[in-house]
Structures are given as structure tokens and as C-alpha cells.
Chains A and B, each alone.
Chain A
Amino acid sequence: MQSTVRRALSGLGLVDRQPAVRAHPELVACEECDAVYTRRSLSAGELARCARCASVLGRGHLLAVDGQLALASGALVVFVLGNVSDIVTLDLRGVHSQVTLWESIWFTWLSGQQVVALLAGATAFAFPLAVILLRLYVLTPLAAGRRVRGFVPAMRALRWVTRWSMVEVFLFGTLVAIVKIAGLASVVPGVGIFSFGVLTLLLAANQAAGLHGIWHRAATLPP
């Protein structure tokens, strides 16, 4: 039974079939030019750059795992707030109109541009939410010194969704949209827009150090 599971996992690439490779955790290879260096632990705020192509090899995060966990928890709170609150309230000669992110996406869907609605829903809602939830899922046990079940697939998914999460662009889009309609109606910014502003900052702080530090730390823990 166990060997069947192992073979299935191996087929998915989750377990290595045979030890054809030997890990060298004491080394670092530059992701952008393949230059090799000996790993050295970085102090908080320290930045290591590749001597050949100047890309960032690693960053000593200012916050430890529990600090990062706090940032992710805060991000979840403002994410929920941002999605249930109005982004703006419009007033056109006494006629009021309020809008949330979801209503905007829904009305785009209804007006016939379903693909655009899906694209906006994925990059401004689904992927940012996945980033926050996956970070909480991985970091919560890590702060307690444990490795969560499914750590590897969660981290691989996290790497993917981080790339396609665009909260900061969405925030800027709301500002441009507000300016564009300021001539038509009077606009009052709502709680939603401020929530997305805070969310942008929290996610940026959370992502500053990249994911390699989490991989490295988890490798020292029992599964």
C-alpha cells in the first residue's frame, strides 16, 4: 500500500525515485546566471548579490517566522475588509452608487467580457487570497517548529500564485478610475480602497525576502 502511494507520488514528482542527485545545502547558485557561491547566513537587513550579474542571491529578512506570520494574518484581515467594503461611493446629482471589487467584476461579466472579468477576478482576488492562505498554512506550523503536511506542494503553489497576484496594480487602477470619473460625479473613497492600500504594503513586506528562506528553514525540521 505504502509503496503504491510512494510510486504515485513519485510519478507526480513529489518523491524522488532514486537518489540520482546529492543535495548541497552549503552552496547557493545564482538563479539568473548560475554562478556558485558558498552559503553564508545573512544578518537582518543584509543583502547578498551575485558578483557576476548583480541579482539578489538572498536577503536577511528583518522579521523572523513569527513576524512574517503576523504580517500574513494582518493581510488576511485587510483582504476580507477590502472585499466586503465599498471601494468608492459616487454621487451624481443626488443619485448614489456604491461599488465593491466583486460588483465591478460581476458587472464586467454581465456586459459580455467574461474573460476579462475572470482575469481581473483571478489577479485581484483569487491569487492574492491564495498567497495569504498558503503563507498562513506554511508559516503557522513553521513558527511552532514543525513542517506542515503538504509543505512542498503548498510552497510550489505559493511560488506560482505570488507571480500572478496584482493587488498593487489593482490599487493604482482604483485611483486612476476615481480621477477619471471625478468630472462626472462626486466621489468619496470608501473603506475598501484604504484596505487595499494596507494590503499592498503588508504583502510587499511579506514577499520582500522571497521563498528560499522558508525552504531552507523547513529543511532543518522534521516532517
Chain B
Amino acid sequence: MASITAAPTAVSRGLLGCECCGLVSEVIKAANSARCPRCGFALHARKPQSLQRTTAYLMSAVVLYLPANTLPIMATASAITGRESHTILGGIIELWHTGSWDLALIVFIASIAVPILKIAALTLLAFTAWRQSRWRQLERAKLYRLIETVGHWSMLDVFVVVLLVGMVRFGAFASVEPGAGLLAFGGVVVLTMLASASFDPRLIWPEPASHD
């Protein structure tokens, strides 16, 4: 572990890596707003107010999570079955019963597992970063990378409903309408993506000297 914590970092050598273009710059005279000489992006050792912004987006996502899962994301009307409302979980159960267990599993992962994973993981990451914890840093770095990679897949159900609305237009025979739950669900997806974009993964690796 000693070799890991002793890694030479940009900050410890008076350097700043640009978050936008990747260029490493040396800060010659201390300025409040150093900018990357190549792309003009503001240079920071860590993203400013990263934890505050992550927490704010995360809390908004948690608030929207409840209506997203309890309100119907769509309503179907058909001459045979009448009018029915569907929630996210209801749609998955329906897929399961019609024999598409594989798709039911994928939608379950995208719509239920990924949002919960994102909210739980970001809570853990923000809390441990706030404590400047050195607990399981490599695993936390990988967890961050995982939620950055899978984050946008939760949008799946939004696209499914939008497409069904476009496809099923048979007037009195059959039609599909989007519901209010879909708006809340889309909000959860966008807010959790903003939360993970606001989180600075470099906070997982606090500098030894940053305790002052």
C-alpha cells in the first residue's frame, strides 16, 4: 500500500492536468483562475464544489425516484383489454410473463438496478471522499468508472415508451400514451448522470498534505 499512496501526483509537483484536453500545465504564478494554455478550460486541482454539487443532484434524484416508480410511465388503451396503466416494475413483470425473461432481465437491470446502484454508489463515493478516506481506493475508483459507463443505460425505458407511443396508433383498436412517471424517471436518469459528472474521481485519492 505504501507504494500506492506515495505515487507522485500532479498536485504534489505543482502541476495541473486539464479536465478537458488532458494537457499538463505547471502553475508559475499563483492565480485564482489559471486556464489551460491549449484549450482555455479552467484548471483545478479538484473540480470546484464537486461534493456539494454531487450531493445536490443526488438528493434531487432520490426525491424523484419515488414518483418515477409509483406513477404510471404509460397507459395503453385497446379494444380488447380496455385501458391499463403501466409502471416500470409492472412492465418488467409483464415481459417476464409473456416469456421474454431475457428482455425482462435487461430492462430490470437498466431501469431498476442501475438507478439504485448509481444512487447508492454515489452516496458511498461522496461520503468517503468527504471523509478523505483511504479505504479501498482502487475498488472505489473502479466503482466510479462502472457508474460512469452504465449510467446512461437507464434511459432505455424512456425510449421504449416514446417508440411505443409512435408505433401503436390504431385509433380505437389500440393506442399508447406516455404517463407522468416517465417524466420523473427521465429526471432521475438525467440527475444521476449530472451527479456522477459533478463528482471528481480525484477526490478518492486525497493528497497527504491536503489535511491542512
A interface residue numbers (CB < 8 A to B) = 12-17, 19-25, 27-36, 51-55, 87-88, 90, 92, 95, 97, 99-100, 103-108, 111-113, 115-117, 119-120, 123-124, 152, 155-156, 159, 163-164, 166, 169-170, 172-177, 179-181, 183-185, 211-212, 215-216, 219
Contacts and interface: CB of A to CB of B under 8 A. Distances in A.
Contacts of B127: none
B66 interface: no
B202 interface: yes
A155 B145 CA distance: 23
A103 B161 CA distance: 13
Interface in B126-157: 137-138, 141-142, 144-145, 152-153, 155-157
B167 A119 contact: no
A69 B29 CA distance: 40
Interface of B: 4, 7-11, 13, 15-17, 19-31, 34-43, 45, 78, 91, 94-95, 98, 100, 103, 106-107, 137-138, 141-142, 144-145, 152-153, 155-170, 173-174, 177-178, 182-183, 186, 190, 193, 197, 201-202, 204-205
A54 B142 contact: yes
A170 B144 contact: no
Contacts of B43: 21
B9 A107 contact: no
Interface of A is mostly: mixed
Nearest to B174: A184
B163 A174 contact: yes
Given A116-B162, A177-B164, 4 more contacts: A20-B27, A123-B152, A180-B95, A215-B39
Nearest to A119: B186
A108 to B, nearest CB: 5
Given A113-B182, A156-B39, A212-B22, A20 B28 contact: yes
Contacts of B186: 115-116, 119
A19 B173 contact: no
A123 B40 CA distance: 27
A23 B38 contact: yes
A51 B7 CA distance: 9
The 5 closest A-B pairs by CB, nearest first: A104-B166, A173-B159, A29-B17, A212-B22, A177-B163
A119 B138 contact: no
B106 to A, nearest CB: 7
